[in-house]
Amino acid sequence: MILDSKIPEGPIADKWDKHKFDVKLVNPANKRKYDIIVVGTGLAGASAAATFGELGYNVKAFCFQDSPRRAHSIAAQGGINAAKNYQNDGDSVFRLFYDTVKGGDYRSREANVYRLAQVSVNIIDQCVAQGVPFARDYGGLLANRSFGGAQVSRTFYARGQTGQQLLLGAYSALNRQIAYGKVKMFPRTEMLDLVMVDGKARGIVVRNLITGAIESHSAHAVVLATGGYGNVFFLSTNAMGSNATAAWRAYKKGALFANPCFTQIHPTCIPVSGTYQSKLTLMSESLRNDGRVWVPKTVEMAQRLRKGEIRVADIAEADRDYYLERKYPAFGNLVPRDVASRNAKQVCDEGRGVGSSGLAVYLDFADAIKREGQPAIAAKYGNLFEMYAKITDENPYEIPMRIYPAVHYTMGGLWVDYNLMTTIPGLYAAGECNFSDHGANRLGASALMQGLADGYFVLPYTIGDYLAKQPNDKIPTSHPAFVEAEQAVIAKNNLLLSINGTRTVDDFHKELGLIMWEHCGMARNAEGLKFAKQQIRKLRDEFWRDVKVTGVNEELNQTLERANRVADFIELGELMVDDALNRNESCGGHFREESQTPENEALRDDENYAYVAAWEFTGVGNEPVLHKEALEFENVKLTQRSYK
């Protein structure tokens, strides 16, 4: 298989504009003859569905929640990047492009990233026009704040609720099209398979989560906007319902999966407090603008603190190690997420962690409150401080927050070309569902930017180029391909229900998560990865022999829902381990202990690994086939990352 990225010719600044002119168009009268399925209604899915409807296409949108408003995009807190340069501090489209490529540790496709930076300036205008209440400065202009991995302020925000406000904007645009009849919404419906006819994506098989009914839907193109796969680790910042089933079922039908080992560990999460937890809570990276990260300078002092012999207020300034400011004076607390996470793990491994478990560091706002006053800090981060206080029963205005890294975002995903099409014709992937823009590490505030860029400004052009070349004939769901896919879904559900084992679905999920966190988490090595692969294979065999799924299919059955998702997570976990074992270098969120500098920084191997690893499914239990898309850097020089 040859991976054709379809990157346009010419200077990078002209590629997207030239491509938009070169793509074929569907005239307005013909758009109403084409049907598009959109799976997922977060920022990427809702914006895509709304825009397709506005253009005149017939759209079916699916989400497993009871409303598109519950998509996980709502949980994003800190902001959205855009190269507006409102602060007049030296920002530009090229600088955003450069920071994103560098932040991703030079493992992303230049052309896609530059397009993202270009489109970012349009996103803000569109969202403001929709009524998104971005923060403003004293003169009424849109405010910006800084984020990790950048030395300019380019992040637009709505307190700590940016994702929620942006999703409300996209949701209102989606509702407009639902009211016009151009978008038909299917809530509480989960995609369980992709249907292909003549080698092209022509529909999906879904399960009605209320009634259990298995149904098929036909279309001329299918867009997956189903988010990432961070819940493979069980404990993550993702909503409990977030899953990888739609993307994974597409992978098993022939869509290549790219860079699955590139998972992001977010540095500012509330630490684990017990085995009863089902998820972790993110504290926005924006807090690192004013919060200072530190631990005690000595192990002895950290031990006394953990035992309760002293309080945090008893530790003098001279006895505090502001380790990020010490090691990275140019960026300080605003180093990228992967760098901040590894350093937090390192000081905790040294025995200098805080909290009862020792797996936490402080995020301290005392200096900012003294400098600006508590009301000013509350105006910036008030809802985040309230959330922290409710969860921990500690007042972060008086006591430093305790934070520790946790699984957050996945940079890997379905392989897509410049048009966001997968290796299956007619199947597109948008937002976190694809691998496209972030390389080995995503910069903060770039997820919202990519989701809206893909949905509002990229897919509307590129999907038209595909549809213009396709006949507008409709394939009925009585077609043998749909019947066969439905039967396969029903058979799998019946198998899960018939096992009647002794272990719960969550029990298997927790064991998988522990294997992944210990051996394919913040640090990986060959021995641990090989062990993890063996353990995951054993776990998969035991799952299909001993899982207990209660109830029946023909009803609301959340245990069956989770069983389907965990079965996919187990298979995906093995692929993640394969990818991590193959990539014998450290880059971004992928840290191989065998490949690091004397200062314990990630050490890339550009000669051997400057490529996108795209994996082809060959059957459950069989080794996947690796395909490589070479990455070419013509506008950014390949250098070892430094934030010092």
Contacts of 510 (CB under 8 A, 6+ apart): 234
The whole-angstrom separation of Cα 341 and Cα 92 is 28
CA distances from 154 to 86, 118, 389 (A): 8, 13, 29
Kindly state the tokens that stand for 130: 């929709």
The stretches of 400-504 forming alpha helices (DSSP H) are 447-452, 459-467, 480-499
Residue whose C-alpha is closest to residue 183's, from 71, 47, 290: 47
For residue 344, which amino acid is it? A
The DSSP line for 524-555 is: B-HHHHHHHHHHHHHHHHHHHHHB---S-SSS
The DSSP line for 292-351 is: EEEEESSHHHHHHHHHTSS-GGGS-GGGEE-HHHHH-TTTGGGS-HHHHHHHHHHHHHTT
The whole-angstrom separation of Cα 177 and Cα 46 is 11
Sheet harboring 257-258: ordered strands across? Answer: 413-414, 257-258, 611-616, 625-630
Relative to beta strand 625-630, strand 427-429 is unpaired
% helix, strand, coil for the chain, step of 5: 40, 15, 40
The whole-angstrom separation of Cα 297 and Cα 361 is 12
559: left (phi over 0), alpha (psi -120 to 50) or beta: alpha
Kindly state the tokens that stand for 50: 């709304």
DSSP single-letter state for residue 204: E
CB 73 within 8 A of CB 451: yes
Kindly state the tokens that stand for 263: 């998972």
Give yes or no: 337 in active site.
yes
The residue count of the chain comes to: 644
Q: Residue 312's CB: how many other CB atoms inside 10 A? A: 17
The whole-angstrom separation of Cα 357 and Cα 340 is 19
CB 428 within 8 A of CB 203: no
DSSP single-letter state for residue 7: P
The stretches of 329-420 forming alpha helices (DSSP H) are 337-349, 366-372, 374-392
The DSSP line for 115-142 is: HHHHHHHHHHHHHHHHT----B-TTSSB
Catalytic residue among 107, 202, 337, 524: 337
- What b/e string do you get for 546-583 counting C-beta neighbours within 10 Å, with b at 16 or more? ebbbeeebeeebebbbbbbbbbbbbbbbbbbbbbbbeb
Q: Sign of the CA dihedral 517, 562, 76, 272?
A: negative
CB 133 within 8 A of CB 165: yes
User: For 224, phi and psi rounded to 5 degrees?
Assistant: -100, 125
Q: Which residues are catalytic?
A: 337
